[in-house]
């Protein structure tokens, strides 16, 4: 039982930053891991142990201050140390052999989540086969439901569904286009930037495929639509350990091929600018 409790208490973390005075430092564990302002902990490595107090805590980072004013931090930025939430030194509790045996990895376990995302779009450029070039005003909205899974080295992927409605206004007439697509994205999170901001900055590249239908007064046509590519950049902000707020901007290139009533095909190629917000639920 003692070894089991000990293994549970130890946590392997990295020293993210050290002050010039060697009296304060930052680690990547915060409110999500149960750290609160004012808590004390012991940090050990090899045959060195330091007692420190949490003075600033965010969702994923904590700034610590060495409690003994006559002690200077013996660790450098990038050092891997063992964190133990205790108010005393743990020399006897954590000899190096046991420390290596019972600590858990600093690298977080892969996580899965559901993402609910809404966006508004504005047309940037378009070409329509079989029609003369004209000034078109495109705009619409969409809703995505995505399953996201962490991969490795800050990469993630997601797959999901989208419903989109777009209105196209020409001089003297308007069209309404509705699309249903299957989506897939590869995402990269810049985790090193978490030292400076509370959220996670990311970029993404995506594709999609689905069905499309366009209608106006007395006219309907339908067909397929391909999304390639979609690029975006954004940031996620944690509410707590289970929920993130998401904001991103991006461009999407769509090619739609629809069949008209006379069996002729019309192809539309367009580029849209999108602004999106969403909510992520981890599970």
Q: Are residues 163 and 257 in the same domain?
A: yes
Alpha-carbon Rg for the chain in angstroms: 26
Asked which of 102, 124, 154 is the last residue of a domain, the reply is: 102
Displacement of CA 35 from its chain's centroid (Å): 22
Q: Is residue 195 in some structural domain? A: yes
Asked which of 55, 72, 102 is the last residue of a domain, the reply is: 102
Q: Is residue 107 in some structural domain? A: no
Q: Are residues 122 and 254 in the same domain?
A: yes
> pLDDT tier at 6 (50, 70, 90 boundaries)?
very low
Most confident of 22-31, 45-54, 85-94: 22-31
User: Which pLDDT does position 214 carry in this prediction?
Assistant: 94
Domain tally, the chain: 2
Query: How many Cα atoms occupy the beta-carbon half-sphere of 273 within 13 Å?
Result: 5
* 4, 63, 92, 283 from 30: Cα distances, Å: 23, 9, 27, 19
Q: Are residues 94 and 127 in the same domain?
A: no
pTM over 0.85, yes/no: no
pLDDT surpassing 50 at residue 5: no
Q: Is residue 17 in some structural domain? A: yes
> pLDDT tier at 129 (50, 70, 90 boundaries)?
confident
Q: Are residues 219 and 132 in the same domain?
A: yes
Q: Are residues 33 and 121 in the same domain?
A: no
**Structural domain of 177:** 112-282
Q: Residue 1 and residue 220: Cα distance in Å, rounded?
A: 71
- Give the model confidence (pLDDT) of 19-36 as tens digits: 999 999 999 888 888 889
Q: Are residues 182 and 270 in the same domain?
A: yes
- Least confident interval from 35-44, 84-93, 142-151: 84-93
Report, as an integer, the average pLDDT of 56-60.
89
Q: Domain holding 79: CATH number? A: 2.40.10.340
Asked which of 41, 73, 102 is the last residue of a domain, the reply is: 102
Q: Could you tell me what percent of the chain has a pLDDT over 70?
A: 87
Q: What is the pLDDT of the chain when averaged over all its residues?
A: 86
* 217, 222, 232, 233, 274 from 183: Cα distances, Å: 31, 20, 14, 17, 15
Q: Residue 226 and residue 221: Cα distance in Å, rounded?
A: 16
Q: Is residue 42 in some structural domain? A: yes
pLDDT surpassing 70 at residue 140: yes
Q: Which residues pair with 167 in a beta bridge?
A: 139, 176
Q: Domain holding 162: CATH number? A: 2.40.160.20
User: Which pLDDT does position 92 carry in this prediction?
Assistant: 42
User: Which pLDDT does position 62 carry in this prediction?
Assistant: 94
Q: Is residue 273 in some structural domain? A: yes
């Amino acid at each position: 039982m003692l070894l089991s409790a000990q293994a549970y208490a130890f946590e392997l973390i990295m020293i993210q930053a050290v002050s010039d005075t060697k009296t304060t430092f930052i680690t990547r564990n915060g409110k999500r891991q149960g750290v609160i302002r004012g808590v004390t902990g012991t940090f050990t490595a090899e045959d060195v142990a330091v007692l420190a107090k949490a003075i600033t805590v965010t969702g994923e980072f904590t700034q610590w201050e060495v409690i003994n004013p006559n002690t200077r931090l013996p660790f450098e930025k990038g050092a891997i140390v063992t964190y133990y939430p205790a108010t005393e030194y743990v020399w006897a509790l954590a000899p190096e052999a046991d420390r290596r045996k019972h600590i858990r990895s600093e690298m977080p376990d892969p996580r899965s989540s559901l993402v609910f995302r809404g966006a508004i779009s504005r047309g940037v450029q378009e070409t329509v086969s079989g029609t003369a070039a004209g000034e078109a005003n495109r705009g619409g909205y969409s809703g995505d439901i995505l399953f996201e899974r962490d991969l490795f080295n800050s990469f993630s992927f997601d797959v999901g569904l989208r419903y989109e409605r777009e209105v196209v206004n020409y001089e003297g007439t308007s069209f309404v286009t509705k699309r249903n697509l299957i989506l897939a994205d590869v995402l990269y999170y810049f985790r090193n930037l978490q030292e400076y901001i509370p959220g996670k900055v990311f970029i993404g590249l995506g594709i999609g495929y689905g069905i499309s239908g366009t209608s106006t007064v007395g006219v309907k046509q339908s067909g397929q639509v391909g999304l390639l590519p979609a690029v975006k950049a954004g940031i996620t902000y944690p509410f707590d350990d289970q929920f993130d707020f998401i904001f991103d901007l991006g461009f999407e290139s769509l090619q739609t091929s629809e069949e008209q009533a006379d069996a002729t095909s019309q192809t539309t190629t367009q580029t849209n600018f999108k602004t999106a917000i969403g909510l992520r639920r981890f599970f």
